[in-house]
Amino acid sequence: MSSAAPAPPDAAAKVFGPALDIACRFVSLLATDGVERGLLGPREIPRLWERHLLNCAMVAELVPPAARVVDIGSGAGLPGLVIAMLRPQVQMSLLEPMLRRTTFLDECIAVLGLGNVTVHRGRAEEMAGVFRADVATSRAVAPLDRLVQLSVGVIRPGGTILALKGEQAPAEIDEAAPVLRRLRVRSAEVLRVGHGIVEPPATVVRILTADKARTR
């Protein structure tokens, strides 16, 4: 591993298990190429494990083992690549509009040997109807009212939306209420996952969509 990359904390071995070596290589890529290409700032290097990889790893436990997943606005591969490491049977599609980011993601997949991941260049609104994933994931992409509308276009009716959010997640659900009603989602809840592993626990908004799609 590059000397620029932080060593994994004790929790990483417990969370990643046999995928720890892959996770370490990913951290090295983020700390070097990821910073050099502007995908994350140099101040993020010391907290790559706690703030980024472990935080994203908490979402994996909410993803069925063999699900088809689309990661919206994948950026540097968070949380998409982390989920793919932890759920090798998942079919992961990384959706990202920027060329420099998709190039980085393709390189990461090759270096990490992740055969269950493909990269697609484009925006979610352009890909509506192209993907029919079981689950849509995202992290720091858009406010929830807009994110839900982007997500329903790339998942099957009855699919699940998993959005990593911050402390304002309950307020975002309240603000998104008109959109959620219009789309007739089955449920929208805030989950705190990773107690005792990450501090603070990861905040995930989980939305179960209607069995029959309604986007207008």
For residue 9, give the DSSP letter. P
**Tell me, what's the pLDDT at 213?**
52
**2 within domain boundaries:** no
Structural domain containing residue 148: 10-208
Residue 139 lies in a domain: yes
Looking at the domain assignment, is residue 97 inside a domain? yes
Q: What local confidence, expressed as pLDDT, does residue 140 receive?
A: 87
pLDDT digits (tens, 9 = 90+) for 99-117: 999 999 999 999 999 999 9
Q: What is the pLDDT of residue 36?
A: 95
Residue 215's pLDDT is what?
A: 46
- What confidence score (pLDDT) does residue 1 get? 41
Per-residue b or e along 59-91, where b marks 16 or more CB atoms closer than 10 Å to that residue's CB: bbebbeeebbbbbbbbbbbbbbbbbbbbbeebb
Which residue is it, tokens 């219009």?
182
Cis check: omega of the bond before 157, within 30 degrees of 0: no
Number of domains in the chain: 1
The answer for 102, left when phi > 0, alpha when psi is -120 to 50, beta otherwise, is: alpha
List the chain residues with pLDDT less than 50.
1-3, 215-216
Domain contains 216: no
Q: What is the pLDDT of residues 178-206, one digit of tens each?
A: 999 999 999 999 999 999 899 899 999 99
Residue 4 lies in a domain: no
Tokens 């009716």, located at residue: 157
Please report, for the domain that includes residue 108, its CATH number.
Answer: 3.40.50.150
